[in-house]
Structure 1
Amino acid sequence: MSKKIFYQIAKLLGIACLFATFSCRSIPKGASVVSDFDANKYVGTWYEIAQIDFKYERNLNNTAAQYSLKDNGDIKVVNSGYNYVKDKWKKREGNAKFREEKTKGALKVSFFGPFYSGYNIFALDKDYKYALIGGKNYDYLWILSREKTIPNSIKEQYLKIATNIGYDVNDLIWIDHDKENPYVK
């Protein structure tokens, strides 16, 4: 192989590596996650208070997420909600893994086999009652609560944090909780 061809191949591989690095970003640029995370306190049921609409939760309300620790250190995720268009409950199970050390709220979650996406805990109160979660980019944002409501002061605080990160909080859909979710234990 000539040196010219070798250098062209090396250049293409370098470009491909850069593309792969940036296309696999797991957190919006400039955002940071909580650094004193405790998975044992985080597990349990969380109700979605608000979320940016996306394909897998479209037409859902009464949405909740349940997290439980697995023996291997991963976190089992069960998301559920009521599809008000199809008039039926929907449930999806997934798996979350830590992207960094387990004391950081930087995880990745998958509902489709080997394909993972960022799950970033941007804010979490000291009692683990309210959380602000974002995905790999500005298309994914959730406000979660252990109850079906959230105090206005927490709501305003989390909206401010999300705005400062770069999210358009006008895109949030506020979730109704007017039915008992049969998947919530």
Structure 2
Amino acid sequence: MNWLAHVTLSPPNCEMQLGNLLADLLKGRKWPEMSDDLSAGIKLHYRIDHYTDSHELWKRSCRRLSERGYLRGVVIDVVYDHFLTKHWMNFATQSMRDFLDDFYVETEQHTEGLPDDARAFVESLVESDRLGRYGDPKSIHLAMARIDERLSERIRRRETMTQYIPLLVDAYDGIEEDFLEFFPQLMAHANAAEEPKAMFC
């Protein structure tokens, strides 16, 4: 799953949300001041990813794009955030705007002890309201283009994220059906963790 899903599948605890958001960027790094909540959020991130990557509905979404492809799963993760935005009130009792505003305000109190690159990432994310833009298909295209910029030359020679856009347009409705069936199952899995329950009902 992508950033929005990781934040919203966390319990309503900002440090756990940040751990869930930043797990890939931190790549297993630890430091003396790391809180138990941040560590628990990182563990929840990998729990979510493992469940997602092994789930038949997520795999079916990937196959709707292509039978093969290194970046198919990354495309689906980003697009699932789009569908989460589109269908937010199917899963939550609080509006997405209120949820994100609360999260953004709380991050100001919890980023001080983060490594410099993680703190800069969170500050940029909040300033640009990147989590709030997934509802706009143009923003999905921009997100995919940004990922392309970070790809190694070796991967770009094989494929790019933006090459999937025409395939995504054709498969849009089917992937949306997959998401609507899959996400309640992912919510239940995330809420079954030992940590406090996530914000989704």
Q: State the TM-score, normalizing by the size of structure 2.
A: 0.27
Report which of the two has the higher share of helix.
2
User: TM-score normalized by structure 1?
Assistant: 0.29
Q: Which has the higher strand share?
A: 1
Query: Which has the higher Rg, Structure 1 or Structure 2?
Result: 1
Greater length-normalized contact order (CA 8 Å, ≥ 6 residues apart): 2
